Amino acid sequence: MPASKIDLSPHNARAYLEPGPIVLISSRHGDETNIMTLGWHVVLEFSPSLVGCMISGGNHSFRLVRQSRECVINLPTVDMIDTVVRIGNSSGRSVDKFADNALTAEPALRVEAPLIGECYANFECRLFDDAMVDRYNFFIFEIVKAHRARRPKHPQTIHYTGDGDFMVAGKIVSRRGLFRPGMLGNGRS
Amino acid sequence: MPASKIDLSPHNARAYLEPGPIVLISSRHGDETNIMTLGWHVVLEFSPSLVGCMISGGNHSFRLVRQSRECVINLPTVDMIDTVVRIGNSSGRSVDKFADNALTAEPALRVEAPLIGECYANFECRLFDDAMVDRYNFFIFEIVKAHRARRPKHPQTIHYTGDGDFMVAGKIVSRRGLFRPGMLGNGRS
């Protein structure tokens, strides 16, 4: 586990992914390592902790993920926005995205792909189902290990709205009192 | 088209769905109409405009959507947060969610399911692929018609983080200048 991070139960990954942030996908296959930006992801199940990602076939990362059957989903915050955009606008065919962006590749515990140390959270993923990859470039991953920073409780994630604009996560409002008890849980413990 | 709304190109639905807001799914089959809340959705393609939704089999709406092969994805804003939570914590088996929540059912143009008039945007959907429904309750819809309010440009959507907490959409920051031209487009026109 990265020194600055704490464990997160994989089934609580939803607390960070369901709000729809831009994420960085890191991957490794053989000698090749890459990072890509991704906004098209979805939580599919709590246990096992499943997340679906649409990784366009035009991305250099597509082949690395498909062949290694692994990746890490990393959660950047608004202080990393320029890095996120640069990564999304360059190709791993021509540049080393860790070195070029001064990002720290940290070892994961359950997969070969590296964690991005600067990100708020890291979700180590193994390919769970590739049945939708040929038709939709849609990978279903199982999150097998998760890490998050100790603070803040609510990270300032960034959410892409197209045309170069991002929405930055705003205030938190609680409506716990309106929920039936059985509808709560799966938070951020 | 609802009087207060303007057309939105279906392939620009990503501007509103990619940021990951909670949405309301309205559905109709025969005499039955329902509404459910949903946070587990993903953009899958621009053209055709495809979106995937994980609709749990325990929801009353699951059967209505599966049998009618249609729905409307409605985008609520923060002023509707209490309504959104009430809808998520009640079942259409026992209540009329339009009447109970004083919501306006407006006719859609391309589907039988009603639009929710109070929502910022409405995406009329037809079932495009049900191959993942049995295994994951994952429906792939095509957005065949889309409507949005004239203003504001950036709606204050709500994003669920678990445990009864919501993140409200915050400030907008542009990084257009850092994008390659081919990476822009598909905004909110």
Q: How far apart are CA A108 and CA B67, in angstroms?
A: 44
Return the pLDDT at B92.
Answer: 74
Query: Which residues are within 8 A (CB) of A179 and not within 5 positions of it... i.e. 6 or more apart?
Result: B85, B88, B89, B164
- Among the listed residues B43, B30, B183, B185, the one whose alpha carbon sits nearest the alpha carbon of residue B123: B43
**CA distances, A186 to each of A10, A49, A181, B88, B105 (Å):** 10, 11, 12, 16, 33
- A contact residues 61-100, partner B, Cβ 8 Å cutoff: 78, 81-82, 85-86, 88-89
**Is B131 buried (19+), middle (13-18) or exposed (0-12) by CB count in 10 A?**
middle
The reply to whether A185 touches chain B by the CB within 8 Å rule is yes
The pair of structure tokens assigned to A120 is: 């708020």
Question: Measured between CB atoms, which of B21, B170, B187 is closest to A170?
Answer: B170
CB neighbours (10 Å) of residue B66? Answer: 18
Average pLDDT over residues B79-102: 91
- pLDDT attached to residue A186: 58
The pLDDT value recorded for residue A189 is 39
The pLDDT value recorded for residue B185 is: 65
**Rounded to 5 degrees, what are φ and ψ at B185?**
90, 180
For B155-174, write each residue's pLDDT tens digit. Answer: 999 999 999 999 999 999 99
Nearest CA in chain B to A44: B54
Distance from CA of A78 to the nearest CA of B (A): 10
Asked whether the beta carbons of B73 and B41 are under 8 A apart, the reply is: yes
For B40, the token pair is 């587990």
Per-residue pLDDT band for B1 (boundaries 50, 70, 90) equals: very low
pLDDT exceeds cutoff 70 at B187: no
**Percentage of chain A lying above the pLDDT 70 cut:** 96
Specify the pLDDT at position A185.
Answer: 65
Asked if B171 and A167 come within 8 Å (Cβ–Cβ), the reply is yes
What percent of chain B shows pLDDT beyond 70? 96
More confident call, B183 vs A30: A30
User: How do residues B63-73 score in pLDDT, each as one tens digit?
Assistant: 999 999 999 99
Residue position matching structure tokens 């907490």: B165
Average pLDDT, chain B: 94
Map tokens 């679906």 to a residue: A52
pLDDT band at residue A3 under the 50/70/90 scheme? low
- What is the C-alpha separation between A5 and A146, in angstroms, rounded? 10
Query: What are the pLDDT digits (tens) for B99-117?
Result: 999 999 999 999 999 999 9
The pLDDT value recorded for residue A90 is 87
d(CA B136, nearest CA chain A) in Å: 7
**Within 10 A of B107 (CB to CB), how many other CB atoms are there?**
11
Instruction: Output the pLDDT for position B64.
Output: 97
CA B113: distance to chain centroid?
12
- As a whole number, the mean pLDDT across chain A is 94
Contacts of A73 (CB under 8 A, 6+ apart): A17, A23, A24, A25, A38, A41, A51, A53, A122, A123, A125, A141, A143
- Per residue in A104-145, pLDDT tens? 999 999 999 999 999 999 999 999 999 999 999 999 999 999
- Dist CA A45 CA B55 (whole Å): 11
Tell me the residues of chain A between 119 and 138 that have a Cβ less than 8 Å away from chain B.
Answer: 129, 131-132, 135-136, 138
Residue contact A136–B140, C-beta within 8 A: yes
Mean pLDDT, residues B54-78 taken together: 96
- Tens-place pLDDT, residues A26-80: 999 999 999 999 999 999 999 999 999 999 998 999 999 999 999 999 999 999 9
Has domain B5-183 been given CATH number 3.40.30.10? no
ipTM of the complex: 0.95
Which residues in chain B are contacts of A171 at CB distance < 8 A? 167-168, 170
SS3 for B4? coil
The two three-digit tokens of residue A48, written as one number: 């096992």
- Give the confidence band of B188 by pLDDT, cuts at 50, 70, 90: very low
Contacts 24+ apart (CB under 8 A), A57-61: A57/A137, A60/A34, A60/A36, A60/A91, A60/A92, A60/A93, A61/A25, A61/A27, A61/A34, A61/A35, A61/A36, A61/A92
Token pair listed for A73: 């989903």
Among residues B44, B59, B64, B58, the alpha carbon closest in space to that of B141 is found at B44
* Cβ of residue B102 closer than 8 Å to a chain A Cβ: no
Q: What is residue B189's predicted lDDT score, i.e. its pLDDT? A: 39
pLDDT single digits (tens) A149-179: 999 999 999 999 999 999 999 999 999 999 9
